[in-house]
Structure 1
Amino acid sequence: MRLVNFLKAGRCTLGARKGDTIIDLTAAGLPDSVDGLLALGADGLAQAKAAAEKGGAGIALASVELLPPVLNPSKAIAVGLNYIDHAAESPYKDAPKYPVLFHRFPSSWVAHGKPLVKPKSSDQFDYEAELAVIVGKAGRHIAKDRALDHVAGYSLFNDGSIRDYQFKSHQWMIGKNFDASGSFGPDLVTADELPPGAAGLRIQARLNGKVMQEANTRDMIFDVATLVSTCSEIFALQPGDVIISGTPAGVGFARKPPVFMKQGDIIEVEVEKVGVLSNGIANE
């Protein structure tokens, strides 16, 4: 099942996407957002699946404005250097022994189809293709062998990075949280639609149609179960929390010469079986 948040008459509405059609699940008596649905737990997802299978009047995907698949996570945790080749191309060189975690704020991302904003203060606007993991079941100190039970589904994330600001200090927060510098969406694909832990899926970034990053999610240093378990050591995970699981090699700053995004570019993130996240670039 593919769940979306979209605008209907100016209000957030929960939908199930089937190809180019959206089934209005809010009209079927379910909450008005994915966030609200996840708060209902497994019963909510089961109700959504039944309503989606029942169908009803569909809305053309092309006629609606999509919103990010989670609107207000209590936490959005990004993972740095989670592919060996990307760690090697970075200034840090060595693969981490423990996940490198940092926070990404909802104000720093936009939905599928919306422009990413290149800030006035930098010309080093970089792309990062990532798989997003969306928590569906709360938990603390989650054992690794039970961690996937806490995952509702997966989405796509472009961890857009302002590189000169990222490397101004040892903390990456400022370079990763410029307003509207990243993107998230378009769907939440429920975990039952994908291999366990979304492993074994091709991941790509394409800039103006050219493949810049290509790898496989099996290449993660810390897999999804490890990331969920590790994050839960630190804080209780809540439904709707997002873990942005890291990017492979091929980012712009590591190329010779560097390649950064500029106004008019189109950047696409694709993960096999999850979909495509596409955004244009606009100047601030």
Structure 2
Amino acid sequence: MTEQSWAAEAGLGRAELADGPAAVLFRPGATAAHIATVDGLAFTDLPALLEAAEGQSGRIQPGKPVALNEDALLSPVGRPRKIICVGQNYPAHSRETGRTSAPSYPDLFPKWDNALAGPYADLALPPESDKVDYESELAVVIGRRCRRVAAEDVADVVFGYTIANDGSVRDYQLHTPGRTAGKAWDGLTPLGPVVVPAERLGGVHPDLRVTGLLNGETVQDDRTSSMVYGVTELITYLTTFLTLEPGDLILTGTPAGVGAVRQPPRYLTDGDEFQVHIEGIGALCNRYHAEKRP
């Protein structure tokens, strides 16, 4: 992909501005941003922007400057066509959950856009369960429509990376083998704060430290180079049977240390704060509150 012309510290995100949501270029922690444009056009979401840019970061240019309050940040991708998640993709996590070997193929399950939340949003713990868990993850953002991608061509279709917390309602997750009821819960998967182009993060072979902190205590710590199935393997496998579209998300799995396997288990409770840090991208940080039963 073409090297971007915007500032090296900036990422591509999305914010709720006075006249509605907009894709923006900004550096986490800054109080100002620029509207992200392609050929002079602005966009409300990343799938349309990435399609217009043909997945090339160099075609995304800073437009007019805007003031930015981090509380206004949204999930950088609001309405992806697909959210594909990978389970058991770190060896230490597989072992802590009782597996003795890696899965023979990527262990896949879906989410939908209803699950996404902003990188600094307050998140509601559902009254139906007291077993809500955290999962720190690297998320891949697809830049170009693609099918049957060869390994040597994966770099042409990956736009960049962001951070996800794959919120999991563990008791509902076990209702069926597919995990869907526990993984697709409204608003329990924060994403962001920005998407960073892949060429700044090791291309399709990222070696990035992933840490998860619960109330300031480090509970997850690994590197993306530990993944059983890396970015190249995941995309070549997925595109064997489906078409990936601009803005599609692949959540690549979580390191060891999730709450469900701790002794005793440590699930999220009212007032907890969970942060996910990934080097080169930044951090998302969410506080949880108990949602009252309707």
Q: TM-score range by the shorter chain?
A: over 0.9
Alignment match, 1:23: 34
Instruction: Give the 3-state SS of the residue equivalent to 2:260 in structure 1.
Output: helix
Distance (whole Å) between structure 2 residues aligned to residue 220 and residue 30 of structure 1: 36
Alignment match, 1:8: 17
In the TM superposition, what whole-angstrom CA distance separates every residue of 1:110-156 from its partner, at most 9, and x where no partner exists? 11111222111111110000000000011111112211211011100
Residue 70 of structure 2 is aligned to residue 59 of structure 1: no
C-alpha displacement of 1:168: 2.3
Residue number among 223, 237, 246 corresponding to 1:230 in the alignment = 237
TM-score, normalised with respect to structure 2: 0.90
Residue 129 of structure 2 is aligned to residue 122 of structure 1: yes
Contact 2:56–2:143 (CA<8 Å) still a contact in 1? Answer: no
Alignment match, 1:39: 51
Alignment match, 1:280: 287
Residue 158 of structure 2 is aligned to residue 151 of structure 1: yes
TM-score, normalised with respect to structure 1: 0.93
CA separation of 1:92 and 1:175: change in aligned 2, threshold 3 A: farther
Larger deviation, residues 197-206 vs 79-88: 197-206
Contact 1:252–1:258 (CA<8 Å) still a contact in 2? Answer: yes
The one-letter code of the counterpart of 1:183 is P
Distance (whole Å) between structure 2 residues aligned to residue 280 and residue 23 of structure 1: 27
Distance (whole Å) between structure 2 residues aligned to residue 57 and residue 140 of structure 1: 37
Distance (whole Å) between structure 2 residues aligned to residue 278 and residue 93 of structure 1: 33
C-alpha displacement of 1:58: 4.4
In the TM superposition, what whole-angstrom CA distance separates every residue of 1:30-81 from its partner, at most 9, and x where no partner exists? 3333222111133763232xx33xx75342444x611111111111000000
Contact 1:112–1:186 (CA<8 Å) still a contact in 2? Answer: yes
Q: Percent identity?
A: 33
Larger deviation, residues 124-133 vs 191-200: 191-200
CA separation of 1:227 and 1:43: change in aligned 2, threshold 3 A: closer
Unaligned runs of 5+ in 2: 1-9
Contact 1:117–1:179 (CA<8 Å) still a contact in 2? Answer: no
RMSD, aligned α-carbons: 1.8
Contact 2:118–2:191 (CA<8 Å) still a contact in 1? Answer: yes
- 1:127-276 aligned at under 5 Å gives the runs 127-197=134-204, 199-276=206-283
Unaligned runs of 5+ in 1: none
Aligned residues: 279
C-alpha displacement of 1:93: 4.1
Distance (whole Å) between structure 2 residues aligned to residue 18 and residue 110 of structure 1: 19
Instruction: Give the 3-state SS of the residue equivalent to 2:15 in structure 1.
Output: strand
